[in-house]
Structure 1
Amino acid sequence: MSSTRGGEATLRTITTDIPARLDRLPWSRWHWMIVIGLGTVWILDGLEVTIVGNLSDALKGETGLGLTSADIGLAGAVYVMGACLGALVFGQLTDRFGRKRLFILTLLVYLTGTVLTAFSMNPLYYFAMRFVTGLGIGGEYAAVNSAIDELIPARYRGRIDIAINGSYWLGAAGGALLTIPLLNPELIPAWLGWRLCFALGAVLGLAVLFVRRHVPESPRWLFIHGREADSERIVGAIEERVRDQDGVELDPPEGSLRIKQRHTVSLATVARTVFTQYPRRTVLCLALFIGQAFLYNAFFFTFGDTLQTFLGVGQTGVYIALFAVSNFLGALALGPLFDKVGRVRMISGTYILSGVMLAVAGLMIGGLTAWTLTFFGMAIFFVASAGASSAYLTASEVFPMETRALCIAFFYAVGTAVGGITGPLLFGRLIESASQAGDIGGIAVGYYVGAALMVGGGVVALFLGVGAEQRSLEDIATPLSAQDAGDDARADDD
C-alpha cells in the first residue's frame, strides 16, 4: 500500500492487475451509470450548437442582437476557440490532478457560460459568453473521453465510445425541436424565446452534475499517481457491485503491469512521446481531427442559415432534427463494427465514403430543395458520424495513459482550430456573398474543401491506422510509468 507525506502519495515501483480486472468485467448496470454520468456531456454540446444554428433569424432581428450572417459564423468560431483553449488548459490539468476533479469543474464552467448567455444584451457580450461556454465544453472532451475509455472494458470500448460521442446528435435533435415552440412569438415573446433556449442547457447540465457525483476517479490514473490503495478499493467495490447486481461470477484477471509511479508528466515529456515515439499516430490523429472538424463545423454551424437564406425556410427545427437523428442512428448502427470489423477498415471507409458523398452534394447544390438538401445531409452524416467519433476514440487509445487527456486536448484543439474555426468563418462569408449574388452555388466550394479533407483523412487512416479493437489500452501504448519500470517501450510500427 502507498503512504503519504505532506498530503502527497509516496511513489514506488509496483505490479498491478487493475487494467486486467477492469477489462475482464462483463457489461453491467454500473457501466450504464458511467455512460449516463459522463457521456451525456455530448448531448449538451449538441444542444448548444443546434440552438445557435436555429437562432439565426432570431439573433438577427430587432428583438435579438442585430447579428449578420457573418456574425453568426463568427459566434460559432468564437465558441470553438473557447473549446480549443479549454481542451488544452483542462486537458493538462486532467492528467495532473485526475479525471474526476476536472470533469466536475469543466461542467460547472459550461453551466456558467450557458446561463450567462441567456442574459446577452449586445453582440460583444454574446461572443464573450459563447467563448466561456466553449471553454467548459472543450475541457469536457479531454476529461470525459479519457475517463470513459479507462473505465470501459476493452471489448466494448469502440462501440461505447462512438455511441457516446454520437449522443451529441440527441442533443442536436432535442434542441432543434425545442426551438420550434420557444421561437414561436404567438406562444412566447420574441425577445424572451431565444434567451430561454440557452437556459435549457443549464437544466440538463444540473441533472448530469447530480449523476456525475457518483462516478469514481479512474483507477488507472490512481495507481500510476501513487494511490494504489484507492485504486484497489474502487475496483474491488465495482467488482462486488457487478457480482451482486448482475449475478455473475467474474473470471480471474489475465496479466499484470509493472509500473514506476509518478506525480506528473512534463509538457516536454508529452511532446517527446507524441512527436518522437509515436509520429505516425500523431499524423493519423491530426488528419482525422482536421477532416471531421471542418466537415461538421462548416456544414452544421451554418445549415440553418443556408436553409433560411436560400431555400425559403422559416422554422428550421424539423429539418435539423431529422439531420441529427440520422447522425445518432449512424453512430449506433456502425459503432459495433469498429470492434468487430476493425478500426482501420471502418475509419478509412467512413471518412472516404462521406467525403465523396459531400462532393456530390456540392455538385448538385444548385438543384436541391430544402428537403433534398436535408436528405443529402442525412445520408452523408449517417456515415460520417461514426467516423468523426472515431477520431476521439483513436486519440484516446493510441498514446500512453499518462498523456491521454492532454493528447485528446491537443488533437482536438489543433484539428478544431484548423477545421472548426476556419469552417464557420468560411461558410459564413460564402453564405453572405452567395446571398448577395442570389446564387446558392457559391457555397459549394466549402463542400469541396470538406470533402477533400475527409477523403484525405480516410487515406491516411488506411495506411497509418492502428488495429486497437478489443485490445487493452496498455497493450496499444505502453504506459510511460511501465517504460520507467523497465518494460520495453512499444515501437510506432502499427
Structure 2
Amino acid sequence: MSSSGVQMKEVRSLVPARMDRLPWARFHWMIVVGLGFSWILDGLEVQIVAANGYAETLGMGSFEVGLAGTFYLLGQVTGALVFGRLADRLGRKRLFILSLLVYLAGSAIAGLAFAPWFFYIWRFVAGAGIGGEYAAINSAIDEIIPSKYRGRVDIAINGTYWGGAALGAVANIFFLNTDLLPQDLGWRLSFFLGPVLGILIIWLRRHIPESPRWQMTHGREDEAEKNVSEIEERIRKEGKTFDDVDESKAITVKEYGQVPFLVIAKVLFRRYPRRTLVGVTMMVTQSFLYNAIFFTYALVLENFYDTPPASAGQYFIIFAIGNLAGALILGHFFDTWGRRRMLFGTYVLAGLILLASAFLFQAGVLNAATHTAFWCASFFFASAGASAAYLTVSEIFPLELRSQVISYVFSVGQLVGAIAPALYGALIGDGTDRTPLFWGYVLGSAIMMVGGVVSGVFGVSAAGKSLEDIADPLSLVEGPKTAVTPDAGGTGSAKSGDR
C-alpha cells in the first residue's frame, strides 16, 4: 500500500542495476559540473561575505556583521528542511533548479542592500537556497552516479566548497581594492559574481534528467526506463560498451507516496538507530571543528602572530587549497579501502594533527606560516572526512526519505556547529593568554576523534554497493537477497563487511 492506504501497482524494475553498471562517461561529467557547482557557490558566497566589505556602507558593527552570518545560517537550516521535504515528494530535478533560483535571487538582491534589515532578509533567502541545494543535490548525485564511483565523486564534489572559498578570497583582492573600485561599488559587484555563474549552471541543469530511482518509486516506471535508455544511448555514442544487465538484480517496488513524519521517525530511531547515531555524530563533529577554525583563523593570526588583516586573507587561500586537495586526493580510497576505514582514519588523523599543533602553539614555537601549515595538514584529512559525512548520510537511508534525512542531519550539525565561532572567539580574547585557546584546540581535536571512532565502529560498509543493497527502499516488495539488514549486531554494516 501507499502511505495513504491506497493499493498501488507493483512493478519489477532493473533501473538501479542498469544505472550502477554503466562506465564513466561525459554524461557523468555533466552531472558533476551541473550539480556539483553548488558547493563552489557556497564557498564563494561565504568567503565574499566574510570579508565584510559591506559593513561601512551599511553602518554595521561587529555585532551586526555576526548577525548577518546568523541569518544566513538560519536560512540554510530552513531551506534544507523545506526543500529536502519537497525533493522527496516532488522530485530531485524540480528542487535542484528551484533552490538554485532562490540562491541567485537572494545573493543578487543582497548586493543592492541599503540598510542592515534589508541585507539580513536577503542573506536569509540566499542561505535557504544553498540549504536546499545540500539536500536535493546530494540525493540526485548519489542516485545517478554508478555505485563504484559514488564515494570519490560525492566527496570530490562536496570538497569543491573550498575551491569556491579560494576563488572568493582571490575575488576579494580585486573587488575590495579601493584603488580599483569605489568602496560602495566593489562589495556590491562581488555579490553578483555567484549569481552570474549560477545562471550558466541553470542552463546546464535543464539538460540533467530526473533521478530514475526517484521516478521508479513514485509510480513513474515508464519515465524511469526511458531516462535510463537515453543515458545508455548517450554513452554508447561515445564508443563505450557495457554488459547487459543481470535480470536477477531486478527489484519489485510499488509507489509509496509522501512519507509521514511518524514513518521517518521509526526508520531513524527504530530501524536504523546506529546509522542515525553515525550520521549525526559525523555531521556535528566536523561542523564544530570547521566552524571553530574557519571563522577564527584570522583572529588567531592577527592577535597571536601580529599578521596584518590583508595578509591573513592570503594565508586563507593556502588553507582552502589544502582542504580542496584532501577531498580530491583521498576520495578515491573511500571506494577502494572502504568507508569505515577511511572515515576512522581521516577523522582521527585530523584530530591528532590539530592536537599536536595545540601543544606547539602553547609552547610558543609556531609562527603564522607554520601554524597555517598545521591547519592545512589537519584539514587535508578533515575535508575528506567532512565531505564523506554528506555521502554517508545520503547513502545509508531509504530512497524515499533520502533528501529529508540529509536535511535533518545537516540542520543539527549546523546548529551545533554555530556555537563554535562564538566559543573560540571568546577563547582567543585579546591574544595575551594562549592557555584558553590551547584547551579549545584540545577540545576540538577530541571531538573530531570521537567522530572517527563512532563512524569506524558503527559505520556501514557501502563501498561499491548499490543504494538498494545498503538500505531497502520503503517501496520495496521483493528484491535481491544482498540488502543490508537493519542495525543489528555490533556494527550495523553490510553483511559482506567493508572492503
Task: Name 1:235's counterpart in structure 2.
Answer: 228
**Equivalent residue letter for 1:287:** T
- The residue that corresponds to 2:496 in the other structure is none
- The yes-or-no answer on 1:277 pairing with 2:271 is yes
Q: CA deviation at 1:450?
A: 2.2
SS at match of 1:14: strand
Greater Cα shift, 184-193 or 308-317: 308-317
TM-score, normalised relative to structure 1: 0.92
The one-letter amino acid paired with 1:385 is S
Task: Summarize the alignment of residues 47-446 of structure 1 with structure 2, pairs less than 5 Å apart.
Answer: 47-53=44-50, 55-56=51-52, 58-60=53-55, 62-63=56-57, 65-68=59-62, 70-253=63-246, 255-310=249-304, 311-315=306-310, 316-365=312-361, 367=364, 368-419=366-417, 421-431=418-428, 434-435=429-430, 438-439=432-433, 442-446=436-440
Contact 1:313 1:370 (C-alpha < 8 Å) held by counterparts: no
CA contact (8 A) 1:331 1:385 kept: yes
Over residues 314-343 of structure 1, what are the superposed CA-to-partner deviations in whole Å (9 max), with x where a residue is unaligned? 324322111111111111110000011110
1:137 and 1:445, CA in 2 relative to 1: closer, same or farther beyond 3 A? farther
In the TM superposition, residue 71 of structure 1 has moved relative to its aligned partner by 4.3
Q: Which residue of 1 aligns with 2:468?
A: 474
Where structure 1 has 5 or more consecutive residues not aligned to the other structure, the ranges are 1-8
Residue 246 of structure 1: SS of its match in structure 2? coil
**Any idea what SS the aligned residue of 2:11 has?**
strand
Report the Cα offset of residue 442 of structure 1: 4.4
Quick one: which of 453, 469, 473 aligns to 1:459? 453
Counterpart of 1:371, as a letter, is A
Residue type matched to 1:238 in 2?
I
Q: What letter corresponds to residue 307 of structure 2 in structure 1?
A: G
Partner of 1:39: 36
Higher mean displacement: 148-157 or 407-416: 407-416
Q: After alignment, is 438-447 or 118-127 more displaced?
A: 438-447
Q: Whole-Å Cα distance in 1 between the matches of residues 406 and 214 of structure 2?
A: 16
Residue pair 1:73, 1:428 contacting (<8 A) in 2 also: no
Distance 2:44 2:78 in 1: 20
> Which protein has greater RCO, CA pairs closer than 8 Å, 6+ apart?
1
Aligned partners of 2:357, 2:117: CA distance in 1, in Å?
35
**Distance (whole Å) between structure 2 residues aligned to residue 59 and residue 450 of structure 1:** 31
CA shift, 1:261, in A, is: 1.5
Mean Cα displacement is larger for which, 44-53 or 145-154? 44-53
Q: Is the 8 A contact 1:308 1:314 kept in 2?
A: yes
SS class of match (1:40): helix
Distance 1:262 1:20 in 2: 20
Mapped partners of 1:466, 1:281: distance in 2? 7
Query: 1:185-222 deviations in whole A, cap 9, x for unaligned?
Result: 11111222222222211111111111111111000000
- Superposition deviation, residue 441 in structure 1: 5.3
Candidates 468, 471, 490, aligned match of 2:485: 490
SS at match of 1:155: coil
CA distance in 2, matches of 1:352, 1:124: 42
Aligned partners of 1:106 and 1:139 also within 8 Å:
yes
Q: Which stretch of the first structure deviates more once superposed, 75-84 or 39-48?
A: 75-84
| Worse-matched range after superposition: 121-130 or 332-341 | 121-130
Offset at residue 443 of structure 1 (A) = 3.7
Contact 1:73-1:425 within 8 A present in 2 as well: no
Aligned letter for 1:340? T
Following TM superposition, by how much is the alpha carbon of 1:77 offset from its aligned partner in structure 2, in angstroms? Answer: 3.2
Instruction: Return the alpha-carbon distance in structure 1 between the equivalents of residues 386 and 164 of structure 2.
Output: 16
Distance in structure 1 (CA, Å) of the matches to 2:426 and 2:125: 24
Over the aligned positions, Cα root-mean-square deviation in angstroms equals 2.2
Task: For 1:461, give the aligned amino acid.
Answer: S
Quick check: 2:251–2:480 contact (8 Å CA) kept in 1? Answer: no
Secondary structure at the aligned position of 1:225 is classed as coil
Distance 1:456 1:73, change over 3 A: farther
- For 1:124 and 1:370, how far apart are their aligned partners in 2? 37
What is the TM-score when the length of structure 2 is the normalising length? 0.91
Post-superposition Cα deviations, 1:16-38, rounded to whole Å, max 9, x if no partner, equal 00000000000001000011110
C-alpha distance in 2 between matches for 1:477 and 1:181:
48
The more displaced of 475-484 and 16-25 is 475-484
> Which residue does the alignment assign to 1:5?
none
Gaps of 5+ in 2: 1-5, 494-499
Q: CA deviation at 1:10?
A: 9.2
**Structure 2 counterpart of 1:381, which letter?**
F
Match of 2:497 in 1: none
Structure 1 residues 344 and 441: CA distance shift in structure 2, 3 A: same
Q: CA separation in 2, counterparts of 1:124 and 1:440?
A: 37
